[in-house]
Amino acid sequence: MPKIKLGLRQLKTLRQVAGLVEAGPGSATPATILKFRYVKLLLNKSIIFAAAAFICLSFLISGCEDSESHLSDGHDFGSNNPTLYVAFGDSITYGSGVPTADNYPTKLGGMMMRTVINEGYPGAESYIGADLVNGILNDYKPGFLLILFGINDLIMGHDEEETIGYLQYICQAAIDNKTIPVIATLTPVAGEHHAFASGVDRLNVLIRQLAANMNVAIVDLDAAFKWDPLYLQEDGLHPNALGYNLMAITFYDIVN
């Protein structure tokens, strides 16, 4: 892996925003998110995710190295890169609480032997995703945008229909860009976050309806997790390494 060199200003910005990784919902403002994204952009451009040997072997046997996503059959990608994926979301996409090697975008990239760029922002709500989506699409020109927002909206008490409106905007932005959007249902909550369980259920119903109405592919993380706390960290919100691996497999089943 190539060494990444950052200037003093970039290092200062990284230190300023590093606190967001463990920060709670509401800590992410548009200004800090943009700073965070600036540094991540520098890092992402120097990283191509590789699989662990045993994961690669299992998927090579199934022929994944030669496969094209069925989602892309007949799709006009325009000037986008059909083999480039951007994982777009909040701290669950970012991989808070686990090493980089264990977050779902890293694992998914290894399984597919494709580049999966991690554009996860700890604390981000869906409106921040709507603010950032066009810039991300313009910067990377990805073939696929993997979307996971909503839990922070529930924690902050936002109206669920408003959240769906922002998710619809994100999906439409991808469609207009000739990027294929793939939207995911929310992962379950437990422990100290169990109070938001009914909200997760309601929002997941709306996300499924949105996907059906827009003819957008959906990754049903809710169904995959089966509300089993075995897949969650002690905070009852973020997946653990086992949960992130399940996320990667569930995304793989849909996008590959």
Output the domain CATH number for residue 105.
3.40.50.1110
In a domain, 21, yes or no: no
In a domain, 40, yes or no: no
Tens of pLDDT, residues 137-178: 999 999 999 999 999 999 999 999 999 999 999 999 999 999
Give the range among 37-41, 44-48, 82-86, 252-256 with minimum mean pLDDT: 44-48
pLDDT of residue 71: 84
In a domain, 16, yes or no: no
Indicate whether 110 pLDDT > 90: yes
Task: Provide the residue range defining the domain that includes 233.
Answer: 48-255
Q: How many domains, the chain?
A: 1
Q: What is the 3-state secondary structure (H, E, C) of the chain?
A: CCCCCCCHHHHHHHHHHHHHHHCCCCCCCHHHHHHHHHHHHHHHCCCCCCCCHHHHHHHHHCCHHHCCCHHHCCCCCCCCEEEEEEEEECHHHHCCCCCHHHCHHHHHHHHHCCEEEEEECCCCCHHHHHHHHHHHHHHHCEEEEEEECCHHHHHCCCCHHHHHHHHHHHHHHHHHCCCEEEEECCCCCCHHHHHHHHHHHHHHHHHHHHHHHHCCEEECHHHHHCCCHHHECCCCCCECHHHHHHHHHHHHHHHC
In a domain, 136, yes or no: yes
Q: Please state, for a pLDDT cut of 70, what percent of the chain lies above it.
A: 73
Q: Please state, for a pLDDT cut of 90, what percent of the chain lies above it.
A: 71
In a domain, 101, yes or no: yes
